[in-house]
Structure 1
Amino acid sequence: MPRPVRIWTLLLWLAVASLGSWALLYERKAALRELFDLDARVLHRVLSQRLEQQETVLNAVAALAEQGGPQVLGRYVQALVRPYPQIVAVEHCGAGGCETLTVPRAALPTLPYAPSDHPTVHWPAGGGARYALGLGTVRVWVDAQALLHPSDLPRAPLTLQIFRPGPGKLVMEHASRIHPAALSFRVEKQLGTPLEPFPIRFHRDYSWAMWPWGAMAAWSALTACVAWGLARGLTARRQAERALLNERHRAQGIVEASTDGIVVLDPQGSVVQANPAAFGILEGLHPGAEIRKVAPFQATLSQAPLNAAQFWQAAAAQVLPDGTVLQRGSERVLVEGGLTPLFGEHGQLLGRVLTVREVGPLRQRMLAQLDAGEQRVREHETLLAHVSRLSTLGEMSAGLAHELNQPLTAIVSYGQAALRLLTEEDADLSRARQAVQGMVGQAQRSAEIIARLRTLVRRAPAQRVKVDLVQAAHNILTLCRADMQRLGVEVNLQFPPTAFVTGDPVQVEQIILNLVRNALDAMQDVPERRLLLSLAQARRQWTLTVQDSGTGLSVAALAHLFQPFQTAKRDGLGLGLSLSQTLAQGLGGDLSGGNAQARGARFSLALPQWTDHDPGT
């Protein structure tokens, strides 16, 4: 999908998803607001009724007090206030003090008696939720905390606060708050009685869970699918248009590049379009020209008669007969070609296409190209023979240099050791003799390597003798002992007592030497240097594994691991692993390599197990 389409699709999706999510949030907020307003109106009405009830009780008690005094009140007041839990006590007051006519439901605060001919509200000192309604000689005590029953509260948590008129002190509070709140509603009203016009405040908090997250996620997913489908459709349409345009350009390019003359005609036979080759073949060709005048084809004696009228008006494809000529001024040119009609979707004739080519120049070009091709083939064969000789010489030189480098280095090391031992005051002739013997052994090894390389160049078969792979590995470790001590390499050997394979002793040791040398080179720049050599037997083969603790092989090195002249060493030729694999495969085995699981590189040399039936026993 093109990047501009992705960007515009993402912006469109974000806009639509955001608009839909906003609509869902707005709808949910409006619904919650409506529910809050309904709950506030219901509670306001309930509280107003409770105030009206206690004022009615006040008027009734005052009327009874006027009719019969305390004796009459004592018989009726208790039954009168029982249905109203907010009325905690009723008192009858006089000059001598106040007498409680009911069993108090709570301790009453101290409040001086102040008779009044009209209903009044009396607030004790110190505030609190209890206050008294007074009329005449009676007082009705109200506990504002009992104005609401738990059954009066709505299901959704709601905070309700009632305040005293004037000072605004809090009289009653039912708190239910949420922290942190995602949305809050608040409304303030006044209880609707003239005697108790208490300010009341309703407050409700909503948590983040109240938002329609599921609907918003579904809407976002739906709009994402629609946007993705729209983008895919637009991309497919754009790709189709681009493919059609490319196909048109490709067809136009093919027509323009063709060496045959191609002329597009309308149904009346006038020229609509032609390629450059057609302008070179047909004289006087131009758009709008009549093709019969531009291309006057004529028959010759070597062909069937040419019916020009039938050729130009045919409803099927026509081919110019062999031997047709084109009259071009005073020149007669031998040509080939044909005329093909073009039909529309409903079978209507859209025009025709004429193809024409000159036969004479074509034959000359074909003969010239054939001669040139034969000449190139001969030159290429000569070049290949020369390159083959140079390649063989280069491989021999590089192989000799690479294979002789190790024994020559050992000869120098043994010679330096022998010279140092002989120049000491107390010359250690025994150790010097061992060094000289090592020089002789390495010189013989060099001779054997040269002989083996000559055998390889002559394509002579390698030796097939009994070789102890354990002894061969120990020989190489002895040869590399000085370098391992210099680097501080920890060697771990996991060998059986013997491991006999079928192979060439020199070639086997050369392969092991290349693997060990590569392992030592790979551990030059690492702090921990460990070399693991192990032998395992499976499927009538012995497999020697050489694993180092170096940095391992890169992806590029793994891709060209055994290809010649591919190396990561600064001074390497890239022939060691390639020659080693060639030698291993020549002995009937194989050499493979890769990275170890933990760290470093791991190479495995597999050679066939020696049996008593092998040749040479």
Structure 2
Amino acid sequence: MTEAKSTASKRSAEQVLLVDDNPTNLQVLYKTLEHSGYTLLAARDGPQALSIAEKAIPSLILLDIMMPDMDGFEVCRRLKANEQTRGIPIIFLSALTDTDAKVKGFSLGAVDYVSKPFQAEEVRSRVRTQLRIHRLEMQLARRNAELEDENFQILRSVSEAIFSLDRQGRISSVNPQAEALVGRTDSQCIGEALFDFFDFQAMQSHIEEVISEGKLLSLDQVEVRARDGRELTLALYCAALEGDKRVVVLRDITEWLENQKALQSARDELHNQRQHLAHMERLSTGGEMAAGIAHEVNQPLTAVSNYAIVAQRFLEQDPIEKSKLKEVLEKIVVQSQRASDVIQRLRSYIRKPTSEGRVPLDINTVMQEVVMLAEVDSRINGVSITFEPTEELPATLADDVQVQQVALNLIRNAMEAMRGAPDDFGGVRVRTYLDGDEVGFAVEDRGCGLSAEMEEKLFSPFVTTKEGGMGVGLSICQSIVQAHGGSIGYRANPKGGAIFYCQFPVR
């Protein structure tokens, strides 16, 4: 992608600057917006973004936070400090989902925040909304600059309904948008009381008091019943002008709220579908491991059967040797528990997440359980697993089922990569660690490694090197980890093979 690319529509004067140090993310953003009618610009780091923004003055910037050298927060800070670029609206794009990151972004002047992984339609909707807001703000700024000479023109051109009142709440003038809102002409409105046209219900007495006393009032959302029976949701602003004049500005947000509800419904549906897909992947993994699980369970059950026969023989003796019978029964208990443990680990893995959601987790405990579950595949593939925990790690807030899913997926991939490897390669190594304010685990193998082409598409959906594989495992893993505010990545093993790692924020 070149530094600046335009969309097929050259007629659009609105430029959108995309900033992300990851070429894949930048390409996805470009594909998402390329047919939306904007001129698209691209920057791969903070300094390049600042240079392009100062030269082009785009209408909107989509800005990634996590970038090397100069992160998105610093880029935003510098843009807002520059007189030329401070008015450009900024939407942050980041895998950071904690409240502090969002608050910091908004405090620096961002207008919106979209969490990764994002959905194309959500990004397009938010871009359209912010550009629409930006256009309105630009219009309002231009009108304010011409206020002394074109006050009347301003009132006619704004999209809000504006009512001029006296202190008794009687209308002295309206703009065309106010006429449309009440369904009356200018002459039919003047002299009438505003409260004859609108019933502000629970806020009625308060608004009457504000208008009478000339106070300032701003309400983001107020329920209103119009004279013709319409139920509206309005944003309201009241202020006192010179003398006894008052101004009331109303904006109908009914449709906007409906769109927000639809958007939230779509987000909820997307979340449910992601959860369902992740569960299907766990069931698929459980099915693949079924033969090994059956073998693991069959061994202790066979032992139970044999010990039971021995116990029957002891019971037939006279006198009964109680000490030997007790020893046999204890062995039956041990083997029964062994079979139960295998089944319980599989049941725990494939179950759906509980309503409790994320809870404090000890990453060592989770990884120990996953390694025990993976030992079934370990024996089938002839590849050993070594677990090296780092003691006294702080807890992370996560869903244990989903973390297990990520870990088991990476461990099974590593074992498959090492199938047939020499014994002195040492098998798969799993370790936990602390890195700053994050806890993580790494899965290392001595397999054939990955090609450069495969590295670029590693976490893309429907990309796989397995025969018959769907190629959604790593993509699902990435979605799970990023939804927890963590990170997942890959690097080549210096000894040959691959190292996959996952990190989660400390609780």
User: How does the TM-score come out when normalised to structure 1?
Assistant: 0.31
Larger radius of gyration: 1
Q: Which has the higher contact order (CA 8 A, sep 6+)?
A: 2
